[in-house]
Structure 1
Amino acid sequence: MERARFITIFFIGFTHLVVSQTVDVQYDKYSSTAAYAGRKLEKSLLGQGYQVKGEQVDYSINLTLDDKILDKEAYAITREGNHITITGGDGKGLIYGSLSLAEDLGNGVSLEKTKARNQIPNLAFRAIKFNLPWDAYREGYAMDLHMETCRSVDFWESFLDMMAENRFNALTLWNLHPFTFMIKPKNFPEASPFTDREMKEWQDLYHTIFRMAKERGIETYIVNWNIFVSSEFAKAHNVALENLKNRIHYGIGDTSEVVKRYTRESVTQVLEEYPNLSGLGFTHGEAMRGMTPAQRQDWFKDTFIEGIRLADRKTKLIHRIPLLADNDAEQLTRDAMEELDFLEGPIWAEVKFNWSHAHSTPKFIKVHGGKLGDTYFKPEPKNYKIAWMARNEDFFCLRWGEPNFIRKHISTNTQSYVGGYFVGSEGYIPAKDYFTKITDSVDWKYAFQRQWLFYKLWGRLLYDPSTPDAVFEAAFTRRYGKEGENLLQAYSLASTVPLRLASSFDFTWDFSLYSEGFMAMNGQSMDYISIDRQIEQQPADPNYVSVSDYVKKRLLGESFSKDRITPPVLANMLEKDCQMALRLIKNIDIDKNNSLLYEVADIKVWANLGMYFAEKLKGAEALQTYRLEGGEKNKQNGIKHLQNALGFWDKVIVITSPLYMEMPLAAYSYPHEGNASVINDNRKFHWKKLRPEVAKDIVIAKNTVVESNGQ
């Protein structure tokens, strides 16, 4: 409520100019998408002081469809005198056109100054990956704490509004076995753990989510891992018993006929009971141990695919690419997708971009399991399109936004066989805000609202990569007035820090790197990245050079080409951008706005983490030089730079301690003798908790000796 009042006051100068003007908004009230577009536009008009409807009309706005002149999801705004027409190629385009005009109004542009414009979507599939907290892939407190929030209709209404505003057009909901919460299987009622009343509550929630999404032009998909069944089903039929052991991800695939039938019938029943659900997705992955790629593909053909075929409706499909890099498996999967001719296409073939860390380099380096060949791309697929999974496992607390990185990502990776992107996390659910200490008078309620810039940049740029920075700068101005003028540029500079860390530090799965915490997996635990680890770790991006390789080659009198990013070059880039970011926010007045306080603080944190990283790289180079060549000056330089690094880490602690609570990290698990052991369930993160490890780098430097074998 405080947020809404602030916006009204801020734009009162504009509303005085139009308070007596009346607008008639005409739209098809029987179309759910047109009605949503009309309501959003009317709300914006009222917010800027216009009257909606009246005896005498000063302006008329007509919302109409024309799929003959406009593509799907495209829109055009035209004006003749005091008559404005918003035309959509479909209902989604109509929503986007209406939101575009509403955005103008929010920026203080009167109807009198409305300019004609049009936009067409760059990518057809712009999805959010959302892991649900019930029967969750990751276990433990960090998931469970979102349960109440994610069962709230108000939360989903806000989240879906955000998606529509930012031009996301698909919501994908993920958990191990979704059917338990959506249906009471007709032929397997024993599979349900719920009473009729409890089942209805779950069904009402799903029906409401799917209905609200459809109104906003958003497709919905449920995506699962395999082969999971409910505990009740497993016990009743004495099958899939490994499903009972903490819902382990590494279980043996149970392909019993009763499991196949249950899965197949559940697929059909879900599709028939939820007409607003757009489609399903499945994974060649968990709980399928011991099965060959061919056996896994046969499983899906007999269960999911057959269940879809038997349903009395058309369905869309997300077909996740097998979680391994293998030419035979790739060809098998491609052939299977090309044979599916009864789906509402195209099939979205999901591929993890750079495994779990898309926020690294925009170069396509690896997928889950290693490098990917060109089997899926050559020849050009006919029945499917690649949809990159842009996973974020690198920053959950700190706000982030670097538009040029996203533009580069899109321009580099949207070949003709690419249909779109997923954006989201595995180890983080953007629902309950468990970060914020100062909750008074902030303009967010839910976690995703804290990261508004992240979603706005990804969504708007996936829709149209040519969207200028002015659009995002205006969003800051709407929120903070004149104090917001430099924030986009400052974020763009400071947000390079995690990208550069992840480009310079090789990774694999989710917890192999956590960039905002400068943590990485060390054996079976996630720890602070020590100075020794920083020296030896090879980069993810082959254009980067590790500290160990750089020092070794330099001491041999050799050099790297100018396009390579060596540790000194990287340190200089970090210092330059982070110092500029700090200068841009130096004079911002944060005393009267707690939301702005957090925005500015996060830029400061990223910038100081970047300065810490630069000093650490300098210390690493000096220390490794001492180890290989000797020279007391090298050792002392290493100690000095690591002391400087600790100083910047201490600044991060000073900034974050009054603002952020200790944050639970998602639990992870490892296979052990066929079972999985859950690790890290009670661990909480805060930069202050890592200070002893940061200080230990200095001790390591002081105790370092020259290696006996020299160079």
Structure 2
Amino acid sequence: MIKITLLFLMGLAGFGQFAFSQSVSIQQPNRLPQTVYAVSIIKKTLSEKGIKLKQEQGDFSLDLKLNTGKSNHEAYSIDLTGRKITITGDSENGLLYGCLSFCEDIRNGVQLQKIKPRNERASLPFRAIKFNLPWDTYRHSTALDLHKETCQDLTFWEAFLDMMAENRFNALTLWNLHPFPFMIRPTNFPEACSFTDQELARWQALYRGIFRLARERGIDTYLVNWNIYVSPEFAKAHNVTMDNLDHKIHATGDTSEIIKRYTRECVTQVLNEYPDLSGLGFTHGEAMWGMTPQQRQDWFGETILAGMRLANRKAKLIHRIPLSANLALGGSTSVETEQLTRRAMEKLDFLDGPIWAEIKFNWSHAFSSTDLIKVHGGKLNDTYFKPQPANYKIAWMARNEDFFCLRWGVPNFIRQHIATNSQPYVGGYFVGSECYIPAKDYFTKAGQPVDWRYAFERQWLFYKLWGRLLYNSATPDSIFKAEFTRRYGKGTETLLDASALAGTTPLRLASAFDFTWDFTLYSEGFMALNKKSMDYISIDRQINQPPADPAYVSVAEYVKVMAAGGTFEKARITPPMLIQRLEQDCRKALDLIKTVNVTNNNSLRYEVADVKAWANLGLYFAQKLRGAVALQTYRLKGGEPNRTSAIAHLQQALTYWDDVIAITRPLYNDMPLVHFSESDDGLKFHWSILRPAVANDLEIARKATVNTSN
């Protein structure tokens, strides 16, 4: 047992009294990585409070215990008996989380004698971040390339992994097309790696550093790739996949024997050379054009799975559910493909723990409805769930392709999401984006003094809500409000409620506007795919687009039914109901932040501005819907007052859009988005750029005519 004594200075400076000192001795059960890290966080927390170390028996005893006799639910308990504080974990992660919870109290100003006894355990065992790496990217885009320097710096990863541990995420999944040449020089295919020994050593140090830092924080690491890819150097040397040297995502599957052998040997060598890497994942999709589901599954069996079996240790596996049930890659589902995939997963008996079977929740837009409406390709049958699987657990992919700039945090949406989708066959969630990397902050205008460095730090509430609620879905709002107070002072805790109200805006748009893949909706910008380009959602598109959530009623359907004298079931959300909810919540959000003083805190200014932006976007949406109903009514029934009403509401919508511009223009740059920059044409996003398109809604209403065919 290692003893460390610490001096606590705990005072009542706010009451003008002298501080009094207390000392604490820490008993540490071992020097395993998570425990060493936990103690380092305790030391750091005390140091930030001006507390010094002292080598003698303390007035308080902080006893860290590891009780491995119980089941590993990453659980912990904190008990206070007299002057003894005991933190017990049922695993290394459980003990780490207990120490982090203790540190959270200290940071929030809780005195030792007032530490409250409590216990927590993980609601879900798999709590992952999806992180696309900016080299050999899934999409080729300047919006992704600009993160390369940041993501090659271990300082970034240390900060990111600290955030993950603090928020109880326990898996980091790293995605790119072909990771192996960045990590190894394949023994039998050295030509596949184009780096010099010195360059490769730098890449290897980066990956080993990431995996080591993650292990110390109780975080599993996975490499997840798309298929079938080889390095351009390998392709040229062996005259294979010559039609895909630039790594297009939609390419024909090359199943030649040399590619199979190369892939298999790379998998084995990476697992052997990187002992801190937890596992691998694979995708039944890109660069597998023309292959049947059976051929794709067979390919994985002969390559990645065979390579894992040959490694000198067990590894974990992410098995993505097939994105296509036919020869194409656009997305489709079938019972036969589900049965094939399930049989394949149930047979695997050499892995470390259950397989995490990843399924995209509501395709690329999980920030829509909490009900499972669709997956990649369409509707999901119950094949993966009935009967209860023995060898795998479902892990929902909560993809965010809907907001990258504005801060977002709606705790009850996440709670409901977890509660609705945590059946016994579910193991957890992935949270992350395909079209955005949370590394370099390219949003914030230069010259703005703020307390963050990296992009993910701007979205601290997003990560804290998802991580803490996935760990314990009963985590109360008081935890998140206390973090606002710690960061910005008393009176700012109302920002959580304001964020929760204003943040419903993108959720409601995504529920009311049907979508499929990434570019089919960008809620933050009120943009959607229009044939081959990403455009502003015009008033006509808003009228005619069917909803994603069947509980919602489109404008076109609403006006048609009402014109015919019909009614809707009470459970349906009609445009007038949606308008009422948007206006009620967004106006309340604006009221809540009226008293928040941002004068002396520029970081707080951004927090408040983002609530204002979401709220004004919600009010814009409400007026746009009013205008849409009036315009469609005019087209069906005529009546000049209907057209006049449409024009008036759309004019008010434009006013709210102008308010969004006024709020965001002083704070945010024009932003590079994958949606625009795949062709390097330099197009960027800001609400001001879309103003002409928003104003054009008025012209559409002014030029509207009555449909005489009705």
Aligned match for 1:393, one of 401, 407, 416: 401
Which amino acid letter does the alignment assign opposite residue 205 of structure 1?
L
Q: Distance in 2 between matches of 1:132 and 1:320?
A: 18
In structure 2, what is the equivalent of residue 174 of structure 1?
A: 175
Shift in CA distance, 299/208, structure 1 to aligned 2, threshold 3 Å: same
1:30, distance to aligned residue in structure 2 (A): 2.2
Is the CA contact (8 Å cut-off) linking 1:15 and 1:49 kept in structure 2?
no
1:543, distance to aligned residue in structure 2 (A): 0.2
**1:165 aligned onto 2:171:** no
In structure 2, what is the equivalent of residue 34 of structure 1?
A: 35
Shift in CA distance, 51/23, structure 1 to aligned 2, threshold 3 Å: farther
In structure 2, what is the equivalent of residue 323 of structure 1?
A: 323
- Deviation string for 1:393-415 (max 9, x for gaps)? 00000000000000000000010
In structure 1, what is the equivalent of residue 417 of structure 2?
A: 409
In structure 1, what is the equivalent of residue 566 of structure 2?
A: 558
In structure 2, what is the equivalent of residue 674 of structure 1?
A: none
Q: List runs of 5+ in structure 1 lacking aligned partners.
A: 1-7, 670-677
Which amino acid letter does the alignment assign opposite residue 635 of structure 2?
R
Q: Distance in 1 between matches of 2:464 and 2:671?
A: 24
Q: Distance in 2 between matches of 1:452 and 1:542?
A: 32
In structure 1, what is the equivalent of residue 268 of structure 2?
A: 268
**1:494 aligned onto 2:486:** no
In structure 2, what is the equivalent of residue 421 of structure 1?
A: 429
In structure 1, what is the equivalent of residue 75 of structure 2?
A: 74
Q: Distance in 2 between matches of 1:320 and 1:289?
A: 17
Is the CA contact (8 Å cut-off) linking 1:519 and 1:528 kept in structure 2?
yes
Which amino acid letter does the alignment assign opposite residue 455 of structure 1?
Y
Which amino acid letter does the alignment assign opposite residue 702 of structure 1?
R
Which amino acid letter does the alignment assign opposite residue 185 of structure 1?
P
- Corresponding residue SS for 2:208: helix
**1:346 aligned onto 2:354:** yes
Aligned match for 1:441, one of 449, 452, 456: 449
1:578, distance to aligned residue in structure 2 (A): 0.2
- Corresponding residue SS for 1:571: helix
The two structures have a TM-score, normalised by structure 2, of 0.96
Q: Distance in 2 between matches of 1:14 and 1:170?
A: 45
1:69, distance to aligned residue in structure 2 (A): 3.7
- Corresponding residue SS for 2:300: helix
Which amino acid letter does the alignment assign opposite residue 315 of structure 1?
A
Which amino acid letter does the alignment assign opposite residue 153 of structure 1?
L
In structure 2, what is the equivalent of residue 214 of structure 1?
A: 215
Which amino acid letter does the alignment assign opposite residue 195 of structure 2?
F
Q: Distance in 2 between matches of 1:32 and 1:47?
A: 23
1:71, distance to aligned residue in structure 2 (A): 3.1
Is the CA contact (8 Å cut-off) linking 1:337 and 1:347 kept in structure 2?
yes
In structure 2, what is the equivalent of residue 527 of structure 1?
A: 535
Shift in CA distance, 14/269, structure 1 to aligned 2, threshold 3 Å: farther
In structure 2, what is the equivalent of residue 65 of structure 1?
A: 66
In structure 2, what is the equivalent of residue 432 of structure 1?
A: 440
1:56, distance to aligned residue in structure 2 (A): 4.5
Aligned match for 1:572, one of 562, 576, 580: 580
Is the CA contact (8 Å cut-off) linking 2:627 and 2:647 kept in structure 1?
yes
Shift in CA distance, 489/165, structure 1 to aligned 2, threshold 3 Å: same
Which amino acid letter does the alignment assign opposite residue 417 of structure 1?
Y
Which amino acid letter does the alignment assign opposite residue 257 of structure 1?
E
Shift in CA distance, 631/554, structure 1 to aligned 2, threshold 3 Å: same
1:443, distance to aligned residue in structure 2 (A): 1.2
Q: Distance in 1 between matches of 2:650 and 2:53?
A: 63
RMSD across aligned positions (CA): 1.7
1:37, distance to aligned residue in structure 2 (A): 0.6
Shift in CA distance, 619/704, structure 1 to aligned 2, threshold 3 Å: same
Is the CA contact (8 Å cut-off) linking 1:219 and 1:277 kept in structure 2?
yes
In structure 2, what is the equivalent of residue 621 of structure 1?
A: 629
Q: Map residues 649-668 of structure 1 onto 2, 5 A cutoff.
A: 649-667=657-675
Is the CA contact (8 Å cut-off) linking 2:418 and 2:470 kept in structure 1?
yes
Q: Distance in 2 between matches of 1:618 and 1:524?
A: 29
- Corresponding residue SS for 2:303: helix
Q: Distance in 2 between matches of 1:703 and 1:155?
A: 53
Q: Distance in 2 between matches of 1:587 and 1:343?
A: 55
Q: Could you tell me the percent identity over the aligned residues?
A: 64
- Deviation string for 1:312-335 (max 9, x for gaps)? 101100000000311111110100
- Deviation string for 1:359-414 (max 9, x for gaps)? 00000000001001011111110000000000000000000000000000000001
**1:543 aligned onto 2:551:** yes
Q: Distance in 2 between matches of 1:10 and 1:362?
A: 46
Count of aligned pairs between the two proteins: 694
Which amino acid letter does the alignment assign opposite residue 584 of structure 2?
K
Q: Distance in 2 between matches of 1:422 and 1:333?
A: 20
Is the CA contact (8 Å cut-off) linking 1:667 and 1:680 kept in structure 2?
no
Q: Distance in 2 between matches of 1:491 and 1:664?
A: 25
Greater mean deviation of Cα atoms: 158-167 or 49-58: 49-58
In structure 1, what is the equivalent of residue 107 of structure 2?
A: 106
In structure 1, what is the equivalent of residue 195 of structure 2?
A: 194
In structure 2, what is the equivalent of residue 364 of structure 1?
A: 372
Q: Distance in 1 between matches of 2:676 and 2:91?
A: 43
Is the CA contact (8 Å cut-off) linking 2:628 and 2:646 kept in structure 1?
yes
- Deviation string for 1:128-161 (max 9, x for gaps)? 0000000000211101100000001100000000
Q: List runs of 5+ in structure 2 lacking aligned partners.
A: 1-8, 325-332
1:446, distance to aligned residue in structure 2 (A): 0.1
Q: Distance in 2 between matches of 1:10 and 1:170?
A: 39
